[in-house]
Amino acid sequence: MTNIITGLFALAVFLSFVIGLAVSINSAPFIIIVSIIGLLAVYDFYESVRDARKD
């Protein structure tokens, strides 16, 4: 359970930082890259939580 809480906190901090950076830079290619990386981070967190719950 602690891994889920710290993972959610880290994911929220990361996403808020990169989304804020993308908004301040306001460049379409950078926003696309940030969106893809953000989705991959969320998917990786989901997979790690799912794998941890199987054990």
pLDDT in tens, 16-35: 999 999 999 999 999 999 99
Q: How many domains does the chain have?
A: 1
Given a cut of 90, is residue 55 above it in pLDDT?
no
Answer whether 48's CB lies under 8 Å from 10's CB: no
**Domain membership of residue 22 as a residue range:** 2-54
H helical segments located in the chain = 2-25, 28-54
pLDDT at residue number 20? 97
* Stretch 24-48: mean pLDDT: 97
